[in-house]
Chain A
Amino acid sequence: MAESMQDKIAVLEDYIMKKCLWQFHSRTWDRKRQNENILGMTRSLLLEEPVSRKTPEERCYWVDAVTMAEAFRKRCPWLAGMSKEDIAVLMDGLFARIDHLTVSGSLNQELNDQHY
Chain B
Amino acid sequence: MPYHEFQCSKCIPERKQHAVVKGEGEDLTSALPLGYLNTIPGTISERGCAYCGAKHVIGTPMKDVIHLSHGPIGCTYDTWQTKRYISDNDNFQIKYTFATDMKEKHIVFGAEKQLKQSIIESFKACPHIKRMSIYQTCASALIGDDIEAVAQEVMEEMPDVDIFVCNSPGFGGPSQSGGHHKINIAWLNQKVGTVEPDIKSDYVINYVGEYNIQGDQEVMIDYFNRMGVQVLATFTGNGSYDDLCSMHGAHLNVLECARSAEYICNELRRRYGTPRLDIDGFGFEPLGTSLKKIALFFGIEERAQKIIDEETARWKPELDWYNVRLKDKKVCLWPGGSKLWHWAHVIHDEMGMDVVSVYTKFGHQGDMEKGIARCEQGALAIDDPNELEGLEAMENLQPDIILTGKRPGEVAKKIRVPYLNAHGYHNGPWKGWEGWVRFARDIYNAIYSPIHKLSLLDISKDEIPTDKGFETQRMISDADLPDEVRNSPDMREYTGKYNCLKDLRKKTYPPFEHNVLADAV
B365–A108 touching, CB < 8 Å: yes
Instruction: Determine if B296 and A109 form an interchain contact, defined as CB atoms under 8 angstroms apart.
Output: no
Residue of A19, A26, A63, A105 near B364 (CB, 8 A) is: A26
Q: Which segment of A44-52, A53-61, A77-85, A87-95 sits at the interface?
A: A53-61
Contact A64 B293, beta carbon cutoff 8 Å: yes
A59 to B262, CA, bound (A): 19
Name the A residues within 8 Å of B369 (CB-CB). 24, 102, 106, 108
Give B278-300 interface residues, CB cut-off 8 Å to A: 278-280, 286, 289, 292-293, 296-297
Query: Across the two chains, which residue of chain A brings its CB closest to B293?
Result: A63
Cα–Cα, bound, A80→B286 (Å): 25
Which of chain A's residues 8-52 have a Cβ closer than 8 Å to chain B?
17-19, 21-22, 24-26, 30
Q: Which of B34, B269, B286, B374 contacts A109 (CB 8 A)?
A: B34
A67 contacts the other chain (CB 8 A):
yes
Whether, in the assembled complex, B4 has its beta carbon less than 8 Å from a beta carbon of chain A, the answer is: no
Query: What chain B residues lie within 8 Å of A7 (beta carbons)?
Result: none
Name which residue of chain A comes closest to B251, CB basis.
A56
Stretch at the interface among B24-32, B65-73, B92-100, B511-519: B24-32
The residue among A21, A66, A67, A106 with the most chain B CB atoms within 10 A of its own CB is: A21
- Known contacts A26-B262, A56-B252, A21 near B365 by CB under 8 Å: no
- How many residues does chain A have at the interface if contact means C-beta atoms less than 8 Å apart? 27
A75 close to chain B: CB less than 8 A: no
B276: interface (CB < 8 Å):
yes
Cross-chain contact B277 with A63 (CB below 8 angstroms): yes
Inter-subunit contact B293/A67 (CB<8 Å): yes
A95 to chain B, nearest CB (A): 16
A102 to chain B, nearest CB (A): 8
A25 shortest CB reach to chain B, Å: 8
A1 CB within 8 Å of chain B: no
Q: Are A57 and B36 in contact (CB under 8 A)?
A: no
Q: How far is B28's CA from A56's CA once the two chains are assembled, in angstroms?
A: 31
**Contact between chains at A101 and B370 (CB < 8 Å):** no
Residue of B nearest to A27 (CB): B266
Interface membership of B275, Cβ < 8 A: yes
Residues of B within 8 A of A (CB): 1, 27-30, 32, 34-37, 251-252, 258-259, 262, 266, 269, 273-280, 286, 289, 292-293, 296-297, 341, 345, 364-366, 369-370, 373-374
29 contacts between A and B (CB under 8 A): A18-B345, A19-B345, A21-B280, A21-B370, A24-B369, A24-B370, A25-B262, A26-B364, A56-B251, A56-B273, A57-B269, A59-B275, A59-B297, A60-B275, A60-B276, A64-B293, A67-B292, A67-B293, A67-B296, A102-B28, A102-B369, A106-B29, A107-B29, A108-B365, A108-B366, A108-B369, A109-B365, A110-B37, A110-B364
